[in-house]
Structure 1
Amino acid sequence: MEHTPLHLLYSRFWNKFLYDCGLVPISEPYAKRVSHGMVLAEDGKKMSKSLGNVVNPDEVVNNVGADSLRLYEMFMGPFADTIPWSTEGVKGVRRFLEKVWSLREKVETQNNVETHCNASLRTRLHKTIKKVTEDIKEMKFNTAVSAMMIFVNEAQKEGISKDDFKKFLIILAPFAPHIAAELFSQLGNKESIFKQSWPSYDENLIKDKTIKLAIQVNGKLRDTMEAAADITDAEAKEKALASEKVQKWTEGKEIVKVIVVKNRLVNVVVK
C-alpha cells in the first residue's frame, strides 16, 4: 500500500486529538495495523486512468456478482503482497461459488437425513473450520478460501448433511455474505446467518490417524510409508530399517545413527 507512513500518522494524529478532547476513550487508535498490498492491473502495471488499465468494480459486480469480487480479492494472494488483477481468477472464484450453490441440491437429495454423513467429509469439515478460524485471525484470507474450496470439492462427491452444510455456510459468510445468507435461509433458518455462533471444531476429529513418513538415507529420500499417527520413535526406526528400498542403500555399509523427526521423517546415516 502506498503512503503507509502517512496513513499511520493521520490516523494516530486524529485519534490523539479526539482523545485530548475527551471524545474517545483510548489514546491509541489500534493495537496492530496491517497494510494491504497494491492490486495492479492485469498487465502488471499500476492502475491508471491515463493507461486505460483500471478495473471498474461496478463492471465486475455486474458480470459475476459482489460475492465473487469480494471473495477473489481475499483469494488472489497474501494480504500484504502486491498482486496483479486476473479476470480469469475472478471467473474461477465464481465457479467455486456455483459449486457451493449446487451443494444445496446434495442436501435435498438426502431428504435432510442427519445421520447420513461420510466420516472423512466430517473430518475435513472440522479441519476446515479450524483452518479458517486460525487464518482469519492471522489475516491469511487466501489460504482460508483455499481450504473451503478443497472441502466443497469433497462435499460434491459425497453429499453433505444439513447440519454440516449450515456450519460450512457460517464460516463462508464473512467471505461471501450474500450467497451464504441466501442458502442459510433456504435451509429453513428464520434467524440471520450473521447472528449465529461461530462453529467449533472437534479436536478428536481433526487428529490424523495415519501419517506419511519420509525415509531418507544420508539425507536423500529413498522411501515413503504410511504409519500410525501415534507411532513411537523406536517403531519408526524399526519400520524404516525394514524397508527393502532402504536396505538397498544400507547393505554392506555401517549405520552410524538413525535420526527420527517425529511424524515426519526418518534419516538413516551410513558410511
Structure 2
Amino acid sequence: MTVQLTSLLEHVLDGEPEAGDAVDEIFRRADRLRRRRTRALLAAGLAAVVVIVVAGWLLTTTLMPAAGPDVKTTPATAGAVTAPPAVADRVLALLAPVAAEKKMDLAPRPPERGDGWRQYSVTDRDGKPRGTLEVAVYAVRDDLCFPVTAAPGSCAKTEWAPAGIEYVRYDDDQDPGWQVHETIARRISDGRTVVVMATGERDAGRPSDGKPGLTGAQVEKVATDKRLFDAFGPDEKCPGPAADACPVFKVPVPAGQID
C-alpha cells in the first residue's frame, strides 16, 4: 500500500464507533425500529376498532326503528266486561254496553257458549245476582210464524225495525218463579233469526228478587240491532229448542221452521 493510499484511507472510519461498539449499536437500532413498528401496529388496530364501533352505531341508529313512546296502561275499572283475548266474544261486546245503561254487568255463565248461542250472568254493581241473559241464532226457512203464547198454532203480528228486521216481544212478569223479557227477531234478507231472553233469578221467592236485570225495552233494543245478527259466526246456528246444547227459551222458535 502506498503512502498516498494510506493517507486517504486513514480518515474513512473517522466518527465511527469502535468495532466492539458497532455490534451493540446495530442491536439498539433494530430494537428502536421494532418498537416503532409495534406502536404503529397498535395505533392502526385501535383506529380500526374505533371505526368499527362508530360504523356499528351509525348503522344501528339509521336502520333500527326508533323506540316508540311509552305505553301507559290503565287498570281495568270495576265492572268492566272483557272477553278472553284468545276467544273474542263479539256478542258480549255488543250486549255489555246495553246492560251498563242500567248499571248491570255481564259475565259468561257456564256452560257459557256453544254453536249459535251464548249465556251470561247478570249482576248489579254490588255483585248481587240479577238473573241470566241468553242469546241464540237460528237458520229459519221460509216465513217465520211467530208464536202466540195464548193461542198455540197461531201467528203473532210482527213489529218492524230498521234494516228489514221483523220481531215480536214477549214479556212475562206474572210468573214469580220465572219472570222473562224475551224478543224474537228475524232478518228478512236471509231468514236468520235471533232470540234474546233476560230472566230473573229462578224461584227467588219474592217477585222483586226474581225481576230480570234487563228491561223488556233493552232486550228488544239488542234483539233488533242488525249488528247482533253478524256478531255470531256466519256458520253458527242452534239446531233447535230440543237440542241439549241450545238454551231453553220460554217462548221457543217453532221447531218445524228451523233449518
- Between Structure 1 and Structure 2, the one with more strand by share is 2
Q: Structure with the greater relative contact order (CA < 8 A, sep ≥ 6): 1 or 2?
A: 2
Q: TM-score, normalised by structure 1?
A: 0.20
- Between Structure 1 and Structure 2, the one with more helix by share is 1
Larger Cα-atom Rg:
2
